[in-house]
Amino acid sequence: MNHNKPNYMDLGFADKMGPKLKNEVEKQLLNDLKFYGVDKPDLKFDWSESCIEGHDTNVLDGKVENFSGISVFDNMENLVAEGWMEFIHNENLFLVYWEFVTTWSGDKKLNEKKEIGLPNHIWVKLPNDLKIKYKTK
């Protein structure tokens, strides 16, 4: 990860997402960051180091993958989070969340999510038929 300067121009492998999809993914990831102690205005995504990890879907105006290499910066260009996203997509549901994430305040690590699987705050959003499908995950 590049902790020095963010690169907001290069979308890396996230260039497959159209503007609507990118906006929705970022909105959901920002909301998910609140569960890891980051709730700041004007956060910006650096997708330049994003990498595809093998799970993808077409939704809205593009294709999304479970990207790794995502960085989030505050308005002073300080790194506040970095990690790997995951998603659930079926007919009526598109949920995006952090599979792995590390949150920062300056050089101090605030939180690190290393556990694989659905966080409880995502699990409770699933309809019952999907809970059966994802129970072992």
pLDDT at 128 over 90: no
Q: Is 74 helix (H, G, I), strand (E, B) or coil?
A: coil
Among candidate residues 83, 85, 97, 84, the one with its CA nearest the CA of residue 125: 97
Confidence of residue 103 (pLDDT cuts 50, 70, 90): very high
Q: How far is CA 1 from CA 4, 40, 62, 71, in A?
A: 9, 21, 25, 8
pLDDT at 3 over 70: no
pLDDT at 133 over 80: no
Token representation of residue 11: 């979308």
What does the alpha-carbon distance between residue 61 and residue 127 come to, in Å, rounded to a whole number? 25
Q: What is the pTM of this model?
A: 0.91
What does the alpha-carbon distance between residue 100 and residue 116 come to, in Å, rounded to a whole number? 8
Express each pLDDT in 40-97 by its tens digit.
999 999 999 999 888 899 999 999 999 999 999 999 999 999 999 999 998 889 999 9
Among candidate residues 82, 95, 24, 29, the one with its CA nearest the CA of residue 51: 82
Q: Given this model, what pLDDT does residue 130 score?
A: 83
Q: Given this model, what pLDDT does residue 114 score?
A: 86
pLDDT at 1 over 50: no
Averaged pLDDT of the chain: 91
Question: Which one has a higher pLDDT value, 132 or 122?
Answer: 122
pLDDT at 134 over 90: no
Q: Given this model, what pLDDT does residue 116 score?
A: 83
Among candidate residues 6, 115, 4, 124, the one with its CA nearest the CA of residue 71: 6
Confidence of residue 2 (pLDDT cuts 50, 70, 90): very low
Which helix (H) or strand (E) segment holds residue 79: the answer is strand 79-90
Confirm if 97 and 28 have CB atoms less than 8 A apart.
Answer: yes
